[in-house]
Amino acid sequence: MNCVLDSNGKDRKAARADDESGAGRAVPLSDVRNIGVVAHIDAGKTTTTERILFYAGRTHRLGNVDEGNTVTDWMAQERERGITITSAAITCAWRGAQVNLIDTPGHVDFTIEVERSLRVLDGAVCVFCAVGGVQPQSETVWRQADRYHVPRIVFINKMDRMGADFDAVVAEIRAKLGARPLPVTLPWGQAESFRGIVDLIAMQALVFDEADYGMTVRAEPIPAELAVAAERARAALIEQVAGDDEELLPAYLENPDLPAALLVPAIRRATLAGRLVPVFCGSALRNKGVQRLLDGVVDFLPSPLDRPEITGADPKSGAALTRRAGDNQPLSALVFKIATDPFVGRIFFTRIYSGVLRKGQNVFNPRTRKRERVMRLVRLHADSQKDVEVLAAGEIGALVGLKGVTTGDTLCAENQPIALERIQAPEPVMFMAIEPKSRADRDKLDESLRQLCDEDPTCIVRVDSETGQTILSGMGELHLEILVDRLQREFHVTANTGKPMVSYYETVTSTGHGSYVFDREIGGKRLYASVSVEVAPRPRASGIATEVKAVRGDVPEAILEALEQGLADGIGTGVLARYPMIDLQARISEVGLGEVESASETAFRTAAVMAFREAALAAAPELLEPIMALVIVTPPEHVGEIIGDVSARRGQVREMEERGGTKVVRARVPLAELFGYSTAIRSLSRGRASYTMEPDNFAVVPRTLREQLLNR
C-alpha cells in the first residue's frame, strides 16, 4: 500500500506547502513521527525496534537480544541481563517520513523511562505477545499513554510461538484495556505454521523472504483457506470504520466495498482521536510483518501538527500559555532525560515543541531564571551522536554544554518565556544505606550519586538526620542493583551497601494546626520568628502541595524562601519515624516578623519546621507501606497453595481467570512480604509458576506492624 495521506485525507506531498519550513529541516513537519515502542517485559519491543531500523536502512545487520548485539540496548548491564534498562532514541526514515523512535524498558523498576518518553512522544506502538496477551506491564503502559492522550497502534508479536492466539489477544485488548481494536492484518497461520500476514486494506497476502531476512516482501493472492475469514474480517473493519466516521458513511452506504484511498484517512482520523486502535501482527524475531507495521506508523500515527498545542504557564504571573508546533513560533522545549557520556559529558535529551534551536543559541530556563548557551546539538543514534546545526519544531535531539538544567526543565525564548508542565516521577518503594569504602572516595561518591539523581528522577538520595547514613532509594531491588553497578562501572566508585529495605512513608489523615515562636539570642543578636502552619490530607498518589505565597504582604523574598525550605525539611523528615511524608497539603497561615533587625532566614526556617511538625502531629499521622499488584500464572493444580501463601503474606486476591490451560491469579500484597518470593513460588509450584509485580498504591500500615516499625 503506497498511499500516504494526512489527517484531512490530502496527499502529503501537497500538504507540504502548508508546513512552516525552517532552516535545517530534513523533512516537512507533517512527515515527522515521534513514536515510542512500549510493552510488557519480554513482549519483543527491542527485537521489533531492531527490525524497524534494519528495514528502514538505518542498520545493516540484525541485532539479537540473546546475543547482546542490539543497537538500542547498548549499556553493558542491558546486554548482560537481556533487558532494556534505559530508553534509547534513534532516528530513521520510512516512505519519506522522518521517524524519531524511542525504545523503552518493560521492567516495572524502570517505569519512569516509559513515563517521560510518553510525555514527549506523539504516538506509540504497543507490542503484545501473541501467547501472553495483555500482561500487567502492558496495562501500566496503556494507562500511561491514556494519561498523555497518546494515539496508539498495536503489534501482536510472536505469532510463530506455540500457543499464539491472535483473536484471543484482540479480545483481551477490548476487555482489559477498554479499547476498540481494529485488526488491519490477519495472521497467515499460527505457531509453527505461521507463514505471513493478510493485509485487510489491500486484500492481499504478504510473504516475507527468509533468504534476505524478510527484506523482500511478496504480495500474493489470499489463499483459499483464508479467503472467507479475510472477507469477513474486511467487512467488519469497513463497518466499524464507517460507523465511526461521518465523512466515510455516505460512501459506505453507496458502496460497502470501500477502497484503500478512503479507508486509510478515515482510520487515521479515528486513531488520532483515540476512538480506534489499528492492530497489526507478525513475528519480529522471524522477520515477518514489521514493514507493514512501519506503514501503519506513517499512515495512522500523528505528526506534531496533528497534536494539540502544548500548554504551559507564564513564569511570572502563572497565567496559562500555549505554543503551536511550527518553526516560526517562539522557542519552547522540554528536557525529558539526562545521560552521562564518558566522552562528551552530560547529554540533555530534548523535545522541541515550537520554534527552532540553533547551535550557539542562548536559551532561558524559567526554573532557575538563568540564561544558558547551547554549545552542541546532536541527533541521537542510541549511544552515538551526530552533530547538527539546527533542531527544528517537532524534533527530538540532544543538547551538550548546559550546566544548571535538570530533568523536566523548560528551555524557551527569554523574551517570550513559558514553563511547561514538569514530568511527575513515582515515589520510590525501596532503599538501602550506601557509604564509600574509604574516606578518600566520599566526595566522589556524593558527586556520582548527584549525577545519578539528575539522570533518574526515581533515584533519590538523602542523609538520615539521626544516623548520618546516606540513603539511596529506588523502584525495586533490580533498580538499586543497577544503580550500584553503574557507580562502579561508569563512575569508578566502589561502595559498601546495606540490605535493600522497604521505603515506608508518613501522611496525615485529618487537618491540623501548629505554631512555633523562635526567640533566641545568638552571638549577641536577638533572632525572632513566629510561624503558623496548617496541614490537611490529600488523596492517595496526589503528592505534596505547599503554600507560602499567601502570606507575602511585607515579608521579604528571602524569608519566603526560608519558609518554603522549612516546610520541605519537615516534610522530608516526617514526625513518626523519620520517613518522608506524602499526600498532604501544608500552608503557612501566619508569619510574625518581630523587629526588622531580628529577621533571620535561619530563624524562620527553623520555626517553619517546628510549626509543621506540631501541625502534622495534630493531624493524626499514619505510616504508609507500598502495596504491589502481583500477577501469578500457575498450573491449576497449584492454585490452592499459592492463594494460601498470598493470604499468609497479608495479601488480597482480587480475581482469577483461565488462560490457555493455566490459572492467572491477580492479588495485592505488601512489598515488605515479597522479599524472596521468587524462591517461595518455585517451591510451591515445583518451578512451574511465574509471576510479575508492580507498584499499585500506598496503604496505611496495620496497627500491630506500625508499633514494630516505630520501636525498631
Q: What is the pLDDT of residues 557-606, one digit of tens each?
A: 888 889 999 999 999 888 998 889 999 999 998 888 766 555 688 889 99
Partnered with residue 99 across adjacent β-strands are 33, 92
What is the pLDDT, as a whole number, of residue 158?
Answer: 94
Q: End of a domain among 484, 503, 522?
A: 503
Domain carrying residue 610: 506-619
| 63: confidence class by pLDDT, cuts 50, 70, 90 | low
Q: Is 350 within 8 Å of 399 (Cβ atoms)?
A: yes
What is the pLDDT, as a whole number, of residue 465?
Answer: 67
| 40: confidence class by pLDDT, cuts 50, 70, 90 | confident
Residue 78 pLDDT more than 80? no
What is the pLDDT, as a whole number, of residue 13?
Answer: 40
Residue 8 in any domain: the answer is no
Residue 21 in any domain: the answer is no
Same domain, 481 and 530: no
What is the pLDDT, as a whole number, of residue 383?
Answer: 56
Residue whose C-alpha cell reads 569504602 in the numeric block: 437
Alpha-carbon distances of 355 from 280, 330, 375, 385, rounded to whole Å: 35, 5, 18, 22
Same domain, 286 and 148: yes
Residue 332 in any domain: the answer is yes
Which tens digits make up the pLDDT trace of 304-353? Answer: 999 999 999 999 888 999 999 999 999 999 998 888 776 777 888 899 99
Q: End of a domain among 619, 640, 655?
A: 619
Residue 144 pLDDT more than 50? yes
Q: Domain of 686: which CATH number?
A: 3.30.70.240
State mean pLDDT over 196-206.
95
Q: Domain of 118: which CATH number?
A: 3.40.50.300
Residue 16 in any domain: the answer is no
User: Any idea which of 224-233, 327-336, 439-448, 530-539 has the lowest mean pLDDT?
Assistant: 439-448
| 18: confidence class by pLDDT, cuts 50, 70, 90 | very low
Whose CA is closest to 395, among 303, 277, 518?
Answer: 303
Q: Domain of 346: which CATH number?
A: 2.40.30.10
Residue 247 pLDDT more than 80? yes
User: Any idea which of 51-55, 198-202, 371-375, 466-470 has the lowest mean pLDDT?
Assistant: 466-470
DSSP SS3 for 617:
helix
What is the pLDDT, as a whole number, of residue 618?
Answer: 95
State mean pLDDT over 412-440.
88
The three cell numbers locating residue 157: 508479536
The three cell numbers locating residue 13: 506531498
Residues above pLDDT 70, as percent of the chain: 89
Same domain, 412 and 519: no
Element (H, E) at 378: strand 376-381
What is the pLDDT, as a whole number, of residue 30?
Answer: 92
Residue whose C-alpha cell reads 516521577 in the numeric block: 425
Q: Is 184 within 8 Å of 243 (Cβ atoms)?
A: no
DSSP SS3 for 712:
coil
State mean pLDDT over 498-517.
92
- Average pLDDT value for the chain: 85
Which tens digits make up the pLDDT trace of 94-138? Answer: 999 999 988 777 566 677 778 888 888 999 999 999 988 888 778
| 552: confidence class by pLDDT, cuts 50, 70, 90 | low
Residue whose C-alpha cell reads 515515589 in the numeric block: 427
More confident residue, 21 or 191: 191
Element (H, E) at 338: strand 332-341
Alpha-carbon distances of 386 from 259, 321, 337, 541, 628, rounded to whole Å: 42, 33, 18, 40, 42
Residues above pLDDT 90, as percent of the chain: 44
Q: Is 499 within 8 Å of 452 (Cβ atoms)?
A: no
Cα-Cα-Cα-Cα torsion 351, 355, 360, 361, nearest 10 degrees, comes to -110
Same domain, 352 and 374: yes
What is the pLDDT, as a whole number, of residue 4?
Answer: 36
Same domain, 685 and 696: yes
Number of domains observed in the structure of the chain: 5
Alpha-carbon distances of 495 from 135, 471, 483, 484, 568, rounded to whole Å: 37, 12, 11, 8, 29
More confident residue, 207 or 686: 207
Q: Is 581 within 8 Å of 574 (Cβ atoms)?
A: yes
| 12: confidence class by pLDDT, cuts 50, 70, 90 | very low
Q: Is 480 within 8 Å of 115 (Cβ atoms)?
A: no
What is the pLDDT, as a whole number, of residue 571?
Answer: 93
Q: End of a domain among 590, 619, 648?
A: 619
What is the pLDDT, as a whole number, of residue 24?
Answer: 57
Residue 82 pLDDT more than 70? no
Residue 2 in any domain: the answer is no
Query: How would you classify the pairing of strands 32-39 and 97-103?
Result: parallel
Cα 432 to Cα 501: distance, rounded to the nearest angstrom: 6
Same domain, 212 and 243: yes
Q: Is 475 within 8 Å of 426 (Cβ atoms)?
A: yes
Q: Which amino acid does the sequence have at 415?
A: N
What is the pLDDT, as a whole number, of residue 294?
Answer: 96
User: Any idea which of 4-13, 82-91, 154-163, 438-447 has the lowest mean pLDDT?
Assistant: 4-13
Residue 6 in any domain: the answer is no
What is the pLDDT, as a whole number, of residue 599?
Answer: 65
Residue 1 in any domain: the answer is no
Same domain, 603 and 516: yes
What is the pLDDT, as a whole number, of residue 109?
Answer: 65
CB proximity list for 537: less than 8 A, separation 6 or greater: 507, 508, 509, 510, 511, 583, 584, 585, 619
Q: Domain of 471: which CATH number?
A: 3.30.70.870
Same domain, 242 and 359: no
Same domain, 486 and 535: no
What is the pLDDT, as a whole number, of residue 679?
Answer: 86
Which tens digits make up the pLDDT trace of 354-364? Answer: 999 999 999 99
Residue 425 in any domain: the answer is no
Same domain, 243 and 314: no
Sign of the dihedral through C-alpha 20, 23, 29, 34: negative
Element (H, E) at 156: strand 152-157
Same domain, 339 and 261: no
Residue 551 pLDDT more than 80? no
Q: Which amino acid does the sequence have at 696?
A: D
Same domain, 377 and 275: no
